[in-house]
Amino acid sequence: MNMKKWPLAVWIFVGLLVGIVGGLALMTVPDKAGIAFAKEYIKPFGVIFLNLIKFIVVPIVLFSIISGVIAMKDIKKVGSVGVKTLVYYLCTTGFAVIIALALATATQDLFPALSQLTASGGFKAKEPVSFMQTLVDVFPSNIIAPLAKASMLQVIVIALFFGFGILLAGEKGVLAGRVVDSFSEVSMKVMDMILRLSPIGVACLLMPVVAENGPQLLGSLFAVVAVAYTGYLLHAGIVYSSAIAVLARISPIAFFKEMMPAWMMAFSSASSVGTLPFTLKSAENLGARKEVSSFVVPLGATINMDGTAIYQGVCAVFIASCYGIDLTLGNMATIVLTATLASIGTAGVPGAGVVMLAMVLESVGLPVEGIALVLGIDRLFDMGRTVINITGDAACAVIVSKMEDRKNGIA
């Protein structure tokens, strides 16, 4: 009975261990019979799980972003507060991905290519395209093809336009908004059902990889976690410290010290929403006005995912390295754009990191199968990225509040 109450993260970690132990055991079978067995009879169950992840990504993104745009009607009520908040969140998320890509690229030698994944007949990267062609391809020529092909940037553009259309339609758009909200909630429930299969999916996808590559993969997993946490620290130490010091005129040390209670809650719960009361209190103790923090912080818990964006960038480079693929400058620009925009679309969804990572991989033509390499240790990433996410929420509340005060001649 107690085992049934274990959180999903524990079960996924159990699936990771089963995949590792099973893969190492199959390595010992003579004449590579164990590897053949894993590929023929175990991997297909992992592929089924992967197909389910792919299938739910498009509806999650489409309906979540439309719902998010509809909810932005509150931005008009708070005027410049809303504009500053959105600009801040988008900019810091963009910086987060850039830091992650730079760091991961500099340390990608720690992520050796895996023989099973780079074997002849395996995955091949798409031919690089020019920046201008990439820009043109962002805008769809019809509504069906992007949804069918899971062209994520085009799906995001479709969602944005429909969201704005519903807002501009006024009362006639209310019914459409309710329908979208309903489909968004249904999509989240479907995603929840699929994620419950994660332990089985992780074990079945990871076992053949471990059987083929053995300890080489395990060392890479520790390396990618270390690189991600280095990115978290750099983002907090550079971006947040600079923003707080320059825009809010507050000592970064004082800011981080006040954030400690919220950090501990975020690290233990791995939930931005669950940490919301602590984040609000920290922001107000740092001088954020209540009417500002009560808008900015909850909005940030919904759309601000700097830590998750760092995770996307590091994992994209890690997975590309494992498959022996070199990411071009255009690929990296696409990752920055996709991860930044996707942070609005999937925030607040259980397993959002997995959904976003699938989107990022699809956007640059990397195999979604690579998710299996990191999904088993997602909880380790999640604790750190949640700390970064809520730190950004509090920083934004303080900065926007101080800027509004100066604008109104209060300070």
pLDDT tens readout for residues 205-216: 778 877 876 665
| pLDDT tens sequence across 168-205 | 888 898 999 999 989 988 987 887 788 788 888 888 87
CA dihedral of 300, 317, 336, 259, whole degrees rounded to 10: 30
What's the predicted TM-score (pTM) here?
0.66
pLDDT for 50 beyond 70: yes
In what helix (H) or strand (E) does residue 223 lie, and over which residues does it extend? helix 215-234
381's tokens = 């990433």
In the block, residue with structure tokens 């299969």: 197
- Give the pLDDT score at 328: 81
Q: Where are the alpha helices (DSSP H) in 80-197?
A: 80-106, 115-118, 131-137, 144-149, 152-168, 174-195
| pLDDT tens sequence across 269-294 | 666 766 777 888 889 899 888 777 77
**Whole-angstrom distance, CA of residue 267 vs CA of residue 230:** 16
Query: What is the pLDDT confidence band of residue 239, given thresholds at 50, 70 and 90?
Result: very high
Mean pLDDT value of segment 4-13:
71
Integer CA distances (angstroms), 25 to 20, 32, 33, 253, 376, in order: 9, 11, 11, 50, 18
> Would you give the DSSP letter of residue 270?
-
**Whole-angstrom distance, CA of residue 361 vs CA of residue 368:** 6
Q: Average model confidence (pLDDT) for the chain? A: 79
- Give the pLDDT score at 253: 94
**Whole-angstrom distance, CA of residue 151 vs CA of residue 149:** 5
- Give the pLDDT score at 107: 84
Q: Which of 107-116, 217-226, 229-238, 331-340 has the lowest mean pLDDT?
A: 107-116
| pLDDT tens sequence across 308-363 | 888 888 888 888 888 888 888 788 888 877 777 766 555 444 456 666 777 788 87
| Contacting residues for 268 by C-beta, under 8 A, at least 6 apart | 383
For 262, the 3-state DSSP assignment is helix
Written as one letter, the residue type at 368 is: V
Q: What percent of the chain has pLDDT over 70?
A: 81
Q: At what angle do helices 329-346 and 352-363 cross, to 10 degrees?
A: 150
**Whole-angstrom distance, CA of residue 287 vs CA of residue 299:** 18
Positive or negative torsion for Cα 221, 202, 367, 301: negative
Tell me which of 86 and 399 has the higher pLDDT.
399
Closest CA to 49 of 354, 362, 365, 356: 354
pLDDT for 263 beyond 70: yes
Q: Which long-range contacts (CB under 8 A, 24 or more apart) does 338-342 make?
A: 338/152, 338/153, 338/156, 338/363, 338/364, 339/93, 339/97, 339/309, 339/312, 339/313, 340/90, 340/93, 340/94, 340/97, 340/309, 341/153, 341/156, 342/61, 342/152, 342/156
In the block, residue with structure tokens 């690229």: 105
**Whole-angstrom distance, CA of residue 229 vs CA of residue 231:** 5
pLDDT for 238 beyond 90: yes
Report all structural domains of the chain as residue ranges with CATH numbers, in order of start.
Answer: 8-407 (1.10.3860)
- Give the pLDDT score at 339: 74
How far is Cα of residue 318 from the mean position of the Cα atoms in its chain? 15
- Give the pLDDT score at 125: 43
| pLDDT tens sequence across 83-125 | 788 788 888 988 888 898 888 888 877 776 665 554 434 444 4
